[in-house]
Amino acid sequence: MRTSPIVGIFLLLASLATAQPQPQLNLMPMPASVQTGAGQLPITQSFSVGVVGTHDASLDGAVQRFVTQLSRQTGIPFRPKPGEPPTLQIHAEHGRQAVQKLGEDESYELTVTDSGAKLTAPTSLGILRGLQTFLQLAQITSSGFAVPAVTIKDQPRFPWRGTLIDVSRHFIPIDVLKRNIDGMAAVKMNVLHWHLSDDQGFRVESKVFPKLTGMGSDGMFYTQEEIRDFIAYAHDRGIRVMPEFDIPGHTHSWYPGYPELASGPGPYTLDGDGLDPIMDPTRETTYKFLEKFVAEMAKLFPDAYFHIGGDEVDGKQWDANPQIQAFIHAHGMKNNQDLQAYFNQRLQKIVAKNHKIMVGWDEILHPDLPKTIIVQSWRGQESLAAAAKQGYRGLLSFGYYLDLMWPAARHYAVDPMADAAATLTPEEKSRILGGESCQWAEWVTPENIDSHIWPRNAVIAERLWSPQEIKDVASMYTRMNAVSLDLEWLGLTHRSARPHMLHRMAGTGDITALRNLADVVEPVKDYNRWSDAKGPIDFHAPLTRMIDAVYPESDPARHFGDLVQTFVQSGYKDQAAEAQIRMWLTTWRDNDARLHPLLDQTFLLQEDEPMSQDLSALGAAGLQALDYLDKGQPAPDSWKTQQLALIDQAKKPMADLLLMVAAPVQQLVEASAAEHK
Collapse the DSSP code of 33 into the 3-class scheme (helix H, G, I; strand E, B; otherwise coil) and give the result: strand
d(CA 96, CA 161): 18
Q: Tell me the window of 56-64, 381-389, 391-399, 594-602 that interacts with its own copies (CB under 8 A).
A: 594-602
Give the separation between CA 59 and CA 64, rounded to whole angstroms. Answer: 9
Q: Which of residues 455-484 bind its own copies (CB under 8 A)?
A: 478, 481-482
Residue 600 makes CB contacts below 8 A (sequence gap 6+) with 606, 609
CA distance linking residue 328 with residue 325, whole number of Å: 5
Among 135, 358, 501, 650, binds its own copies (CB under 8 A): 501
Stretch that binds its own copies, among 93-101, 182-190, 467-475, 535-543 (CB under 8 A): 535-543
Site size for its own copies (CB under 8 A): 50
SS3 string, 512-544, reads HHHHHHHHCEEECCCCHHHHHHCCCCCCCCCCC
Q: Pick from 188, 279, 190, 308: which is nearest to 241 by CA?
A: 190
Residue by residue, DSSP assigns 343-390 as HHHHHHHHHHHTT-EEEEEGGG--TTS-TT-EEEESS-HHHHHHHHHT
Binds its own copies by CB under 8 A, chosen from 50, 86, 95, 499: 499
Cα–Cα distance list, 67 to 71, 80, 111, 187, 580 (Å): 6, 11, 18, 17, 41
Choosing from 312, 442, 447, 609, which is the catalytic residue?
312
Q: Is 21 in the site for its own copies (CB under 8 A)?
A: yes
- Of 603, 632, 637, 638, the one binding its own copies (CB under 8 A) is 603
Distance CA 215, CA 26 (A): 48
Q: Tell me whether residue 326 or residue 485 sits nearer to its own copies (CB atom).
A: 485
Measured from the CB of residue 507, what is the shortest distance to its own copies in angstroms? 4
Q: Which is closer to its own copies, CB of 218 or CB of 229?
A: 218
Does position 597 bind its own copies by CB under 8 A?
A: yes
Please indicate whether residue 469 is annotated as part of the active site: no
Burial class (CB in 10 A: 0-12, 13-18, 19+), 504: middle
350-361: b or e for each residue (b if 16 or more CB lie within 10 Å)?
A: bbeeeebbbbbb
143 interacts with its own copies by CB under 8 A = yes
**Closest CB to its own copies among residues 542, 636:** 542
By CB under 8 A, the residues from 212 to 241 that bind its own copies are: none
Q: How far is the CB of 508 from its own copies (least distance, A)?
A: 5
User: Binding to its own copies by residue 174, rule CB under 8 A?
Assistant: no
Q: How far is the CB of 579 from its own copies (least distance, A)?
A: 10
Residues with Cβ within 8 Å of 269's Cβ and at least 6 positions away in sequence, in order, are: 256
Which of 178, 410 has the CB closer to its own copies?
Answer: 178
447 lies in the binding site for its own copies (CB under 8 A)? yes
In terms of residues, how long is the chain?
A: 677
Instruction: State yes or no: residue 510 binds its own copies (CB under 8 A).
Output: yes
> Could you give the string, one character per residue 407-436, with x where binding to its own copies holds by CB under 8 A and - elsewhere?
------------------------------
Stretch that binds its own copies, among 5-13, 53-61, 71-79, 160-168 (CB under 8 A): 71-79
Give the three-state DSSP class for 396.
strand
Q: What character string, x for contact with its own copies (CB under 8 A) and - otherwise, covers 340-379?
A: ----------------------------------------
Residue number with CB closer to its own copies (215 or 374): 215
Q: Quick check: 604 binds its own copies (CB under 8 A)? A: yes
73 sits near its own copies (criterion: CB under 8 A): yes
**DSSP conformational letter for 436:** E
Alpha carbons 248 and 622: distance in angstroms, whole number: 54
| Closest to its own copies by CB, 29 or 509 | 509
450-483 per-residue burial string, b: 16 or more CB within 10 A, e: under 16: bbbbbbbbbbbbbbbbbbeebbbeebbbbbbbbb
What is the C-alpha separation between 539 and 534, in angstroms, rounded?
14
Answer yes or no whether residue 141 interacts with its own copies by CB under 8 A. yes
Which residue among 79, 299, 371, 652 contacts its own copies (CB under 8 A)? 79
- Report if residue 103 touches its own copies, rule: CB under 8 A: no
- Cis peptide bond upstream of 455, omega within 30: yes
Query: C-alpha angle with apex 157: 156 to 160, nearest 5 degrees?
Result: 75
Residue from 54, 74, 340, 439 that binds its own copies (CB under 8 A)? 74
485 near its own copies, rule: CB under 8 A: yes
3-state class of 650 per DSSP?
Answer: helix
- Binding residues for its own copies (CB under 8 A): 18-19, 21, 26, 45, 73-77, 79, 139-144, 445, 447, 478, 481-482, 485, 488-489, 495-496, 499-501, 503-510, 540, 542-544, 597-598, 600-604, 606
Mind telling me the catalytic residues?
A: 312
